[in-house]
Amino acid sequence: MNQYLKQMIELSDIDNYISSFEPELEQMQVLSQQLESDRIEKLESIDIIKNDISLIIKKISEQEVKISVNRDKLRSYESKTGELKRDREISSNLEQEKYIKGQIDISNSEISKLEEIKDSESIILNDRYRELQEIELKLTQHNNFLNSKTVAIQENRKKVYAERELLVNSMEKKIFSLYGKIRRWAKETTAVPVVNKACRGCFMKLSDQAYLEVIQSKDIVTCPNCGRLLYLEDSFQGRQKFQAKL
């Protein structure tokens, strides 16, 4: 294989490997952001439920105040019963006692309903706290893994950049310039194999003459249709080093 073509294929593999770093981190960061969003959403849900429970407790307290006031009124009317002489006054007093007792029963009934709602909300609140703990645990574990992965990628990136620099320094400027021109538009498909006489970049069939040039690989061979660097897949084993990491 042509030395310059081999260098450009190796450089393409290195650049492809470097390009794989960011998407991997971005994908992990997306998951971290999603977990953080879930955590915030759960906290907001907890705040809403706690506020609802506080309102229920306030309503219970209001009903208890009503009961206390009505009981004082009831005792007052009951104390008058023995003092009253006229039937009309006694009847009126008893009616007031009945009405107040009814109000106390209504308040007790309302308190029972509110207590049931409060108990139900408390169960939901405990579930939300449990879910929050699970999310926070996942978030902590994921962020720890993300941090360690970031450090590992940064260390690996330094090594790969060092290899790239050595390779670039060994290349002639015009060869590196040609590689750069193709890389700018072809990106990860700068160098592609020829399979079944077709370019794996644009998938167009090659002429017999073009295919023969790829087989011989005496010169730098580019696809006459798209301009990508071409090589026979079985003729370049050096790709395995970085392709295995992608």
Give 52-56 contacts, CB < 8 A, sequence gap 24+: 52/121, 53/118, 53/121, 53/122, 53/125, 56/114, 56/117, 56/118, 56/121
Q: Which domains does the chain have, with CATH numbers?
A: 3-14+172-243 (no CATH), 17-170 (1.10.287.1490)
Contacts of 38 (CB under 8 A, 6+ apart): 135
Lowest mean pLDDT across 70-74, 108-112, 199-203, 234-238:
234-238
| In the predicted structure, residue 32 carries a pLDDT above the cut 70 | yes
| In the predicted structure, residue 221 carries a pLDDT above the cut 70 | yes
Residue corresponding to tokens 């009961």 = 67
Contacts of 212 (CB under 8 A, 6+ apart): none
| In the predicted structure, residue 158 carries a pLDDT above the cut 70 | yes
| In the predicted structure, residue 243 carries a pLDDT above the cut 50 | no
**pLDDT confidence band for 189 (50 / 70 / 90):** very high
Quick one: pLDDT at residue 246? 41
Mean predicted lDDT score pLDDT of the chain? 91
| In the predicted structure, residue 68 carries a pLDDT above the cut 60 | yes
Of 78 and 66, the structure prediction assigns the larger pLDDT to 66
Pick the closest to residue 8 from 220, 244, 212 (CA basis): 220
Lowest mean pLDDT across 23-32, 76-85, 111-120, 223-232:
76-85
The alpha carbon of 74 is separated from its chain's Cα centroid by a whole number of angstroms, namely 61
